[in-house]
A and B are shown apart, each in its own frame.
Chain A
Amino acid sequence: MTDAKHKELKDRAFAVREHIIRMSTDGGCFTGASLSCADLIVYLYSGYLNVNKDNLQDPQRDFLLLSKGHDVPALYGTFAELGWIEKDRLKNHLKSNDSIYWHPNRNIPGIEFHSGSLGHLPAVGLGIAMDNKLKGYNNKVVVITGDGELDEGSVWETLHVASAYKMNNLTIVVDRNHFQANMKTEDLIPLEPLADKFEAFGCVVKRIDGHDFAALDETFSQLPFHAEKPSVIIADTVRGKGLPSIEARADRWFCNFNAEEVESLMKELHGEAKTTLTSETLTVR
């Protein structure tokens, strides 16, 4: 990866994080999960995937499906930075005159499928990948799941089927931020050894730092990892990445900050402040 490309990705991810912080008020959003996958989403939409605002009707474009869903501010922030939607439109978050709410939906250009209920889009992605195979297309289908989402049996059911049908055009990316809603995954339903589990279901797995653009680039460029198997990338990430005040904290999943906190967090993102958070901690949404 060139230095210029690296800087482009870093700057874009930074701007996306600003959007996420700004959406974390007036009702709030799932800030922590959005920040953990921001780098992943920025990387995928900045050249890796063959998808842009002008080819959304092209059946041979690549597909990204956000199965965890509640991290959609990262996706909307990316769309805004890429010019797919107006930046101002993000101010419509939770307003009834638009469709920008806590989970993705197809009223927003670029959203391939709605989500919110966990464990669905691996199966939907499998259907899209199957259609691509039937048509002889070589386009890619990438499904981003959460790690807590892997509790859902339907994820594993789908991997079973995807392996049976040798779906090498399907890639599952796990945003491994090590938390589910209210606690560490390993303290509730431990997932490790996670790579072994995916391998046992017939996938080829690579594990990388999900905030390292060079590692992302090197790994994604190797897809598919096997000619007859689905690929899995476990991207180790930090929930709340970029905001030390909320990083890797069980109690900062859904955040609804007050105006002062938002301003302070914006400075914190720029390394200029540490934020004292007084707004109520929400652990159920």
Chain B
Amino acid sequence: MYKIMMFSGGVYKFNELQEIVEDIGGFILQSMVMQTETMMHLAFPAEEEPRIKAKVKELGGKLKDLPLGGAEIMVVVPSLGKHHAVYPMCDIAEFLRRNGAITDMMGLARGVGKRIAQMTVEEKAIINECDAAVFVFGDFKECIEEKVKLCEMIDVPYIIVGGPSASDVDLPHYVGGVGRRTSRMNRKEDIEKLNEMAMALADVLEEKRIELEEDPLSASPLFIKEMIEMILPPKVAEELPIVIHMDGLRVKVEAEDEEKIRDIEIGKRKLSEICEIKKSLYEGYLLEILPEAVAGEIF
């Protein structure tokens, strides 16, 4: 299993760290050099952590654990009106990104109210494309308990963020103390609350990770990402052309490149043989990697 961490430090000899990660069979998920500062998201085998830590110490950098790394999370709010956006929706999304997640945001078309709240089939399908969802609701216990029907419709793991404290609301994966906001969540107690939310989401994702370990995929999404980049190198200034999911990838390519992707060789197999490739309702193509038990070995 890969461990995902963030390195931040100076540019001095940081390429040596890159080489070590590649030598031990790891991957560089994101790399950003800002004048004299460097930030890298690294994925490497968990047992090699001491080696990476030693190198980072030598370089004088910092290493931070990313509990949500390698997951795409959908932040869902009842609408994109000023009642829900930009606070607390953007604070939540920002905090998830700080913990390594790739975030998308969605305002439901008819998600407001209590009795009248609903979710369309298309919205449900788009949320199901992500690894997990965070539903951001308001201040009233009665409304949250009624709106759980929206969350129960989706197939991916989710958490609910609302106002009343968790002891008052009897719902699984619920984090209270956020509710309606009209200003940024940048106070100490707000940060603690966001941290609690990120940890609740990490727990939910951990359950999914354990499921995947029990029925392993035929190839790691990180490995497939690297193979795709060898055939279709990222274009200049293109942001996150390949988003890693826990059990697949989202690849933002044009329709004419679809065939090229299907024919990419992963070991002895073609990508189309070990993945279900379908057009994403949101953006690009969705690659769902089949379990090894279904697709067979690739080497």
A, B: real partners: no
